[in-house]
Amino acid sequence: MSAARLTIDLDAIAANWRQLDRLNRGETAATIKADAYGLGAGAVARRLASEGVRTFFVALAEEGAVIRQAVGSGPRIFVFSGHMEGDAQLLRNLDLIPLLNSAEQFVRHAEALPRHPFGVQLDTGMNRLGMERAEWSAVREMAETAGPELVMSHLACADEPEHLMNDQQHETFLDMTAGLACPRSLAATGGILLGPNYHFDLARPGIGLYGGAPFVDARPVATLSLPVIQVRDVEPGETVGYGCSWVAKRQTRLATVAAGYADGLLRSLSNKAKLWAGDTACPVVGRVSMDLITADITDLAEEPEALDILGPHQGIDALAEFAGTIGYEILTSLGQRYRRRYTGARS
């Protein structure tokens, strides 16, 4: 078969959650938006629910359908985008909890689903989502009376422990939530690692579950093996790929593998990244094209059947560094042509 194989280690995801849960002093939820960062929300949600996760976070109400089907009627599912126009039926039927981001959303929710649970998202300085101080002051009394399930905010620089913004947002969050009786949440993965002052009642790790920074102790989760389609020899001075961007300096043995930017492997990896044959690195040569990548396998003792672009020697953050991006983009860009294999699933 020519399709590349993406292996997702659900045991590793569960182990990463357990490690973060041990560090966290409150409830540890799981952020599972964007199809579990590209790894398959249904399978990931089922595995985490079997570990004891009782609260999940998604970006959109539509994403909640997969999670609810996977975990059943018990766990809570919060929606970061809040109560958007047209969401009422989904929120009601799937028992989803919107995190209301504005006074407009607060009114919409109160009118459409007056007895339905909700949470509130506050803007403590990131200027992205959430109610600013004046808006929150205007609706706080009504919100408290209705009884929010959660009041949360999001840290802008939690992956930089020394950044002054962390303390500023922490103090703003304390001030904006002073006297609240409901649970509070400020930390995702980075916030958990900043320490107990940031944990509050609930933390909602995301990237750390999937093997990414800033959780340096995370177990790798994804292995991506690319089948070799063809092997050839080129002479010194010959070029490889579109634009002739790589020129052989020696007699070189090349392997062309079946994956490219149509599979989420970014063009910026061209002439920079490495593929791996066991413990041996094989440099990518030439441009990443739509369906193909070429690697230098001259130093291998024998021709490989496949080469790994993600695995124990090169995780999502190492690959992201070659591409000039972050591990989040590597994961969420993974395409749909891969043969997906899950290990560690539980019934």
Do 206 and 268 reside in the same domain of the chain?
no
Tens-digit pLDDT profile for residues 290-303: 999 999 999 999 99
Exposure letters 38-51 (e unless 16+ CB within 10 A, then b): bbbbebbbbbbbeb
Do 187 and 297 reside in the same domain of the chain?
no
Do 134 and 258 reside in the same domain of the chain?
no
Please give the pLDDT value at position 285. 97
Burial class (CB in 10 A: 0-12, 13-18, 19+), 160: middle
Q: DSSP assignment, residue 182?
A: S
- Which residues, at least 6 apart from 104, have a Cβ–Cβ distance to it below 8 Å? none
Domain-embedded: residue 216: no
* pLDDT over 60 at 347, yes or no: no
- The CATH number assigned to the domain holding 95 equals 3.20.20.10
What's the rounded mean pLDDT across residues 102-108?
97
* pLDDT over 80 at 1, yes or no: no
> pLDDT averaged over the chain?
96
Q: Taking the model in full, what pTM does it have?
A: 0.95
Host domain of residue 230: 222-343
Please give the pLDDT value at position 344. 86
Please give the pLDDT value at position 3. 85
What's the rounded mean pLDDT across residues 243-251?
96
Tens-digit pLDDT profile for residues 144-192: 999 999 999 999 999 999 999 999 999 999 999 999 999 999 999 999 9
Domain-embedded: residue 4: no
Do 239 and 331 reside in the same domain of the chain?
yes
Tens-digit pLDDT profile for residues 211-238: 999 999 999 999 999 999 999 999 999 9
**Which of residues 183, 210, 237 is at a domain's end?**
210
Tens-digit pLDDT profile for residues 300-329: 999 999 999 999 999 999 999 999 999 999
Cα Dmax for the chain: 77
- The CATH number assigned to the domain holding 298 equals 2.40.37.10
214 preceded by a cis bond (ω within 30 of 0): yes
- Number of domains observed in the structure of the chain: 2
Catalytic residues, which ones?
33, 242
Do 255 and 315 reside in the same domain of the chain?
yes
Tens-digit pLDDT profile for residues 132-157: 999 999 999 999 999 999 999 999 99
Question: Percent of the chain, pLDDT > 70?
Answer: 99
Do 89 and 184 reside in the same domain of the chain?
yes
Residue 177: name the closest of 125, 126, 120 by CA. 120
